Amino acid sequence: MRYVYLLLATLLLLGLVACGGTTATPDAPAEVDPAELPQVVDAETVASIQDDPEVVLIDVREPEEYAAGHIPGVTLIPMGEVPERLDEIPTDKTVITYCRSGNRSGQVMQFLQQQGYDNVHNMEGGIIAWEQAGLPVE
């Protein structure tokens, strides 16, 4: 069976080269499976999966902080409002929380885990790390 997979992989690679496709290079980012993330993820990983329909980013900062700059397309649920807004946080998707530095969002991640969320993660370094990585903010 292993030989069948090897043969299929070789044929796929040859097909891509023959059709003018590109192959992965050592510098190319690996594809990330949102269901297999560690509890704490870095900004670059979040950026690579943020457009996945199975991923929900939640900014847990205050509205003033959010207005000063946030990741495009995120949901704002300030930390103090999380308990009363649990119905807005899906249990069937990958949830990633972030704040300014990762402290508040880490607490929210732990709270959500206590509420039964099993696919919730914290973005390490928060919006500070996101901006330092040169990622877009609106």
Distance separating alpha carbons of residues 34 and 96, to the nearest angstrom: 10
Q: Cβ(52)–Cβ(34) under 8 Å?
A: yes
The three-state secondary structure class of 138 is: coil
Cβ density class 74-99: b for 16+ within 10 Å, e for less: beebbbeebeeeeeebeeebbbbbbb
DSSP state for residue 131 in the 8-state scheme: H
Helix (H) or strand (E) holding 56: strand 55-59
Residue 38 DSSP class? -
Which residues share a beta bridge with 3? none
Q: Which residues are catalytically annotated?
A: 99
